[in-house]
Amino acid sequence: MSEVDERSVGEFTIRIDRLICVGFGDCIEVSADAFELDDEGIAVFRDTIDGVDLTELTESCASCPVDALVLLDSRGVQIVP
């Protein structure tokens, strides 16, 4: 697995920086339908996140205490954090 994992949701992109993530799990508390921890205790996307509400995903990205989750708009402009 690469150091950065990305997933598109509608016109937005969510990026997980696996080097920064320390596995606090705050993202999972907000959006367990989108994220889980892998065997290394690092956040990963669930198999499908297409049905997850964008507001929930935004809050989940914003909840990361180490800014390992980033939300980008369709132009690649960072929205969160």
Q: In whole angstroms, give the CA distance from residue 48 to residue 70.
A: 18
**Span 4-80: which CATH code?**
3.30.70.20
Biggest CA–CA distance in the chain, Å, is 33
**pLDDT at position 64, please?**
98
CA separation for the pair 31, 34 (Å, rounded): 6
Cis bond upstream, residue 81 (ω within 30):
yes
* DSSP state at residue 22: -
pLDDT class of 2 with cuts at 50, 70, 90: confident
Per-residue pLDDT reduced to its tens digit, 7-55: 999 999 999 999 999 999 999 999 999 999 999 999 999 999 988 999 9
Range 68-79 average pLDDT: 97
The structural domains of the chain, with segments of one domain joined by +, span 4-80
Residue 9, both tokens: 């949701």
Q: Is the pLDDT of residue 1 over 70?
A: no
What's this model's pTM, rounded to 2 decimal places?
0.92
d(CA 74, CA 40): 31
